[in-house]
Structure 1
């Protein structure tokens, strides 16, 4: 195990201070920070160790979102789209106007159970195992259901 020591310099208005950091394997530790987690790391209660910020977040305890147009790991990537279509973690996304049956929403994601079909407008009356995200339930019967002020028709063969 190789230990590397380094010092970070932070300039604050009217003051500057030093923070002594050590780097053991892939997890740096910084004195003077909560749980010795360096900036761009946060404490994970389950693993009992500092972990790198998720993409799109930076700073002490990963408490800051990347400022537009930056996104991704350590905010190093740049969106080339409008602010309202720039995700801090993944970058630009675009609303698709048409999705295949079984997909819906902004990025045409797979319909969540119990919904299925075109724009996820169908509602399965069977178990999750039997409900197909684009075709619905494979059971013989015809049924009409009202849910959230919408009428869903499920024709089952």
Structure 2
């Protein structure tokens, strides 16, 4: 498994960089920027800006712990972090890991595949009439009045998710 730019891999999945950015959080924030993936701009003198917490405040009572350091120890404001996945992935709530979209794409897999496309991130094209293309498994076979899923693709799809769940629970 790999993480998107601006995230690093932990035993719990991909975590957002705080106080750094780039692939595997390899670069520190530029002077004057801080927080998640260095996206926040400090409103204080640049040399007073902490890459993780931003500008210090004179009086601040904070109990939240961010990456092992209590923010109140340094007098910095609380940072809340929203856990999210990269575009083309969704959060698998059971173990909080990001999984690739199948039969859809976009942020949180919110956009279904276009007609004639299927599979992971909708990158596969059906080689059958569009009305016989299943967004998850691809081409389906007509059997009387019902459509019957292509067994090989369905088994592959099920095995993929089963193997992925076994791997992520190790």
Q: What TM-score results when the alignment is normalised by the length of structure 1?
A: 0.43
Structure number having the greater helix percentage: 2
Structure number having the greater strand percentage: 1
Q: What TM-score results when the alignment is normalised by the length of structure 2?
A: 0.40
> Larger radius of gyration, structure 1 or 2?
1
